[in-house]
Amino acid sequence: MITELIPNSLPLLADNKVFENININTYNVKAMANDLRQRFHGLDTETTIQELVFAIRSIDLTTLSGDDTDANVQRLCYRAVNPLRRHLTSALTANHKLWEPLTTAAVCVYPSRAGDCVEALTRLTTDSGADHRVSIACVATGFPSGQYSLDTRLQEIESAVKGGAHEIDVVVDRALALNGLWSEMSDELMQMKRICDRSGAHLKVIISAGELGSLDNVYKASLTAMLSGAHFIKTSTGKETLNATLPIGLVMTRAIGDFYRMTGHRVGFKVAGGLKTAQDAIDWIGLVKSQLGTDWLNRDLFRIGASSLLNDIERHLFGLVLNRQPNHYELSL
């Protein structure tokens, strides 16, 4: 879909000429997504267990509520380091080749709570004596609307990285996308990336696909983010009316694949918004596998943004691993 106008270097200013010949056939995308969805049902037990364990390792465990407190964040961090109850983790370790500690990929909070995460995760490491790979992600740039001045949005990134964030999930200015101002969007994102680069933080760009008006714009916004140096592109804030759907994911992963073939540079994919069930997680893992291959199936290139999803995965794993339905006291709260 993209042309030879893209040189083999990053970051780049998105030249509007790159987008002249992009035309997504919505009917075909929906048909392909429906076909893919049907492939991911009815997996055998062992494959399902391994897929759900991978899903846990890919989760950015999230709390983005107005009533978040230090206590909320401490509980979130504990769950990230200990995503399943101990008896279930022990059964997985013994019977299903769980060779390394099972944690989520990250915790995701507002910038004001980054310091709480640092404190909680440090304490958990000290108390257990075990190292973990749980990163701290912060949403920023006027999340979820992005309707703030650029200076304010950049200052919020500064605050998050100073607070200890390893990853910054930024929202794009949807008005720029809806008006086709891709160069202007790229300029903003590159300013955000420069701040992240100074601290070594990764830039994860939320394109808010459900608010972009068309799948053409979803593809163009995805490409603009990657041209601007994003480490990840992300479907949604989770606050839109239309969040992550498989057609949207199909277009975004196709953009990632096209970008990789043109530049040799791998960009990660994060799905967020509306994932509630274990089957949802399996569907999205299957989509990434089918479009990008197994090279993308690791926490450095695939993430799931979720809050309640982990509970359903735990319930399903309990039945698959222990061959019975759990009592309510056997599951995490």
Q: Tell me the three state secondary structure of residue 268.
A: strand
Specify the number of domains making up the chain: 1
Is 204 catalytic? The answer is no
Q: Is residue 11 part of a domain?
A: no
Q: Is residue 234 part of a domain?
A: yes
The pair of three-digit structure tokens given for residue 219, joined into one six-digit string: 């593809």
Q: How many Cα atoms are found within 13 Å in the side-chain-facing hemisphere of 282?
A: 22
Q: Tell me the three state secondary structure of residue 288.
A: helix
Helix H or strand E encompassing 158? helix 150-163
pLDDT digits (tens, 9 = 90+) for 125-180: 887 666 678 999 999 999 999 999 999 999 999 999 999 999 999 999 999 999 99
Neighbours of 151 (CB within 10 A): 8
In terms of phi and psi (left: phi > 0; alpha: psi -120 to 50; beta: otherwise), the region of 180 is left
Is 60 catalytic? The answer is no
Residue 192 is part of which domain span? Answer: 16-325
Can you give the CATH number for the domain in which 203 is found? 3.20.20.70
Which residues have C-beta within 8 Å of that of residue 148, sequence separation ≥ 6? 141, 142
**How far, in Å, CA of 329 to CA of 75, rounded?**
17
**Cβ atoms of 312 and 277 closer than 8 Å:** yes
The pair of three-digit structure tokens given for residue 232, joined into one six-digit string: 């990840």
Q: Is residue 332 part of a domain?
A: no
CA angle 120, 125, 127 (to 5 degrees): 90
Q: Is residue 235 part of a domain?
A: yes
Of the residues 193, 270, 280, 283, which is catalytic? 270
Per-residue pLDDT tens digits of the chain, which is 333 residues long: 444 444 444 444 445 566 777 889 999 999 999 888 888 777 899 999 999 999 999 999 999 999 999 999 999 999 999 999 999 999 998 887 777 889 999 999 999 999 999 999 999 988 766 667 899 999 999 999 999 999 999 999 999 999 999 999 999 999 999 999 999 999 999 999 999 999 999 999 999 999 999 999 999 999 999 999 999 999 999 998 889 999 999 999 999 999 999 899 999 999 999 999 999 999 999 999 999 999 999 999 999 999 999 999 999 999 999 999 999 889 998
Q: Scanning the structure block, which residue is given the tokens 């609307």?
A: 145
Of the residues 116, 169, 173, 312, which is catalytic? 169
Q: What is the DSSP string of 180-242?
A: T-HHHHHHHHHHHHHHHHHHTPEEEEE--GGGSSSHHHHHHHHHHHHHTT-SEEES--S-SSS
Of the residues 193, 204, 220, 234, which is catalytic? 234
Q: Is residue 284 part of a domain?
A: yes
Q: Is residue 134 part of a domain?
A: yes
Q: Is residue 91 part of a domain?
A: yes
Is 234 catalytic? The answer is yes
Q: Is residue 278 part of a domain?
A: yes
Q: How is residue 20 annotated by DSSP?
A: T
